[in-house]
């Protein structure tokens, strides 16, 4: 892995998918053991056709994997690539569907101009994909390649990771101040007294978050740990006891 910046949990496979920005590929692992299962390389994303017909994605759409989301209702995995770090990079959403029992890259959609979604999550209550960046959140429709108007939640800024609880009642967000925040989705308000400071655990760049049972899997994208450090690009597993 390199520079963990996205994740999504697929319960039917007991698989945690991780997006590695530096290595420009995604990884499937067992969340219980950390055992590696498989990789989907950048070349598979480069070769993806445009949804509805069109040219292959090419390298300008696969240079900045930022976020992932899993749609449990339709068994579809999404990967969002941002626009870092040159003007030639094109923000893009990729869709992965099952082929012969395994997820494979099916197609891509260009994202709206200026899009750079650092967090993404699927909500089971309305069946929509939500994406976030900075203070702004919005829903995203893959079929049309469009996003809704943005909205904000007071007290939430610097969004880097997003995941809904299994019932869709809560949205959990990691932010660039190294905090894990719980949002009551029905009211769009931060749950008082629940925000977790991640710095005492050694997390230095809290990126993706995945809620699996009573645990939170927080990917650390910090790039400056020395090679050989076991915490370099680690996924921290946090138990919630109350």
Report pLDDT digits (tens) over 125-181: 999 999 999 999 999 999 999 999 999 999 999 999 999 999 999 999 999 999 999
Cβ neighbors of 129 (< 8 A, separation 6 or more) are 69, 71, 78, 120, 121, 122, 123, 139, 140, 141, 142
> What's the domain count of the chain?
1
Task: State the pLDDT at residue 242.
Answer: 66
Query: Tokens 């007991």 belong to which residue?
Result: 14
For residues 183 and 190, the answer to whether their CB atoms sit within 8 Å is: yes
Q: What whole-number distance in Å separates Cα of residue 164 and Cα of residue 86? A: 32
Task: Check: pTM over 0.85? Answer yes or no.
Answer: yes
Domain extent, residue 232, equals 4-239
Q: Which residues contact 56 (CB under 8 A, 6 or more apart)?
A: 46, 47, 48, 49, 50
pLDDT digits (tens, 9 = 90+) for 77-119: 999 999 887 778 999 999 999 999 999 999 999 998 889 999 9
Spatial separation of the C-alpha atoms in residues 73 and 133, rounded to whole Å:
25
> Domain with 86 in it: what CATH number?
2.120.10.30
Question: Within a 10 A sphere around the Cβ of 170, how many other Cβ atoms?
Answer: 18
The C-alpha atoms of residue 26 and residue 6 are separated, in whole angstroms, by 9
């Amino acid at each position: 892995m390199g520079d963990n910046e996205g994740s999504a949990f697929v319960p039917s496979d007991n698989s945690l998918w991780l997006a590695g920005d530096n290595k420009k590929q995604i990884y499937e692992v067992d969340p219980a053991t950390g055992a590696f299962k498989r990789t989907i390389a950048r070349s598979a994303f480069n070769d993806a056709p445009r949804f509805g017909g069109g040219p292959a994605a090419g390298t300008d759409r696969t240079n900045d994997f930022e976020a992932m989301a899993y749609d449990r209702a339709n068994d579809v995995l999404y990967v969002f690539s941002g626009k870092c770090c040159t003007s030639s990079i094109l923000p893009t959403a990729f869709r992965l569907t099952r082929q012969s029992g395994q997820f494979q890259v099916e197609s891509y959609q260009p994202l709206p101009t200026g899009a750079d979604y650092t967090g993404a999550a699927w909500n089971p209550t309305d069946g929509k994909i939500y994406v976030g960046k900075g203070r702004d959140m919005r829903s995203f429709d893959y079929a049309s390649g469009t996003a809704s108007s943005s909205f904000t939640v007071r007290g939430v800024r610097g969004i880097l990771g997003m995941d809904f609880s299994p019932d869709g009642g809560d949205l959990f967000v990691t932010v660039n101040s190294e905090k894990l925040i719980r949002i009551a989705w029905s009211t769009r308000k931060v749950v008082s007294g629940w925000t977790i400071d991640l710095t005492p655990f050694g997390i230095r760049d809290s990126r993706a978050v995945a809620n699996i049972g009573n645990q939170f899997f927080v990917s650390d994208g910090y790039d400056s740990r020395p090679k050989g450090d076991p915490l370099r690009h680690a996924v921290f597993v946090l138990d919630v006891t109350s």
